[in-house]
Amino acid sequence: MVSSLPKNQHYVWRHYLSAWAEDGKVWCLRAPQQSPFQANLTKVGSETYFYRIYELDANDLAYLEGIISHANGNGLADINRGWIELFQRAFAIRRALGETAIGSRNRAQLDAVLDEIAKSIGEYYHTAIENQAKPQLAQLRAKDAAFFEDDESAMNFVLFIVHQYFRTANMRNRMYRLPRMIPHEPQRTWPIESYIYATNVGAALFAQRRSYRITFLENASETGLIAGDQPVINLNDHTDEHLCLYYPLSPWLSMVLSAEPKRFPEERATIGRLQAETFNFQIYSKSDSQIYSADAAYLKSMAAVPKRALERD
């Protein structure tokens, strides 16, 4: 029997990238290659079992508890401990069974099911979040952000946007490069840690939502906006009080979720080539290894730019 387990798991939403695609294919520049290639949307922004969950040991649990205990807000710690319980459930079941005499065949089948849960539960979760966000993405591409005035719709959008920010290969690989001040194994902790950060940032953003506004940036230049494998980027840095989230929606439209009325004073603004290039270079500099466009020549020209010189953490 052919398994339906989602093996090729995306950290860049295929439906989102369709705005840059033609006939289901998009131009992609993948570092360190210098030449873009055209690829099916199923073949980019993904890895085999990207969301796989691993069993945590005592050091991993202590490390995650240290992060959870610093969360501000009622109920956040319980929610975040709930992520650990949810994603470790398959391993807890296996431990509870121990050497229970259920028959070797039945045990092999059960172990296979538990392994599939560990490999796919994250993929199913993010698919559900994205499916829920489809109407809102369509509204954004129609330059309509009225849904952000409704509390439930705003909560759903905030949940979507923070996961688009944290669940990427870029965030994972940056975390892998950090020095380990507390003993733990990042390969095991990060798949859960990303949910904890998304929960904390999402809760803060939702609580402050009345201070934030969505601004549409309409690209009037001939230089199309690009997308990256870090789809959402923060235009501010860690020293800024508020987030300023930039999210390209198509080659000709992007949005910013910002609490800075002086920087983005209108609900809509027109940008020219210089601004489009500036946003594109920020998407490029904060990508992990892939950027996407409808214009192969533009991607090729970008490959000549020293990416790391542009980085601003």
Provide the residue ranges of all domains of the chain, joining segments of one domain with +. 8-310
Distance of CA 172 to the CA centre of its chain: 10
- Residue-by-residue pLDDT tens, the chain, 313 positions: 445 678 999 999 999 999 999 999 999 999 999 999 999 999 999 999 999 999 999 999 999 999 999 877 779 999 999 999 999 999 999 888 876 666 677 778 888 999 999 999 999 999 999 999 999 999 999 999 999 999 999 999 999 999 999 999 999 999 999 999 899 999 999 999 999 999 999 999 999 999 999 999 999 999 999 999 999 999 998 888 899 999 999 999 999 999 999 999 999 999 999 999 999 999 999 999 999 999 999 999 998 888 764 454 4
Longest CA span, the chain = 70
Both tokens of 168, joined, read: 């990427």
- What was the pLDDT predicted at 99? 65
pTM attached to this predicted model: 0.93
The whole-number pLDDT of residue 101 equals 61
Radius of gyration for the chain, computed over Cα atoms and rounded to the nearest angstrom: 21
Torsion of CA 25, 27, 30, 34, to 10 degrees: 140
The pLDDT value recorded for residue 313 is 43
Cα separation of 191 and 243, whole Å? 23
* Predicted local confidence at residue 312, as pLDDT: 45
pLDDT of res. 1: 41
Q: If you write DSSP's letter for every residue of the chain in order, what string do you get? A: -------EEESS-HHHHGGG-BTTEEEEEETT-SS-EEEEGGGSSEEETTT------HHHHHHHHHHHTT--STTHHHHHHHHHHHHHHHHHHHHHHTT--S-HHHHHHHHHHHHHHHHHHHHHHHHHHHHHHHHHHHHHHTT--GGGGSHHHHHHHHHHHHHHHHSSHHHHHHHHHS--SS---HHHHHHHHHHHHHHHHHHHHHHTGGG-EEEEEEE-SSS---EESS-SEESS-TTSSS-EEEEEEETTEEEEEES-TTTS-SSEEEE-HHHHHHHHHHHHHT-SSEEEES-HHHHHHHTTS-HHHH---
| CA separation for the pair 115, 107 (Å, rounded) | 12
28 in Cβ contact with 17 (< 8 Å):
no
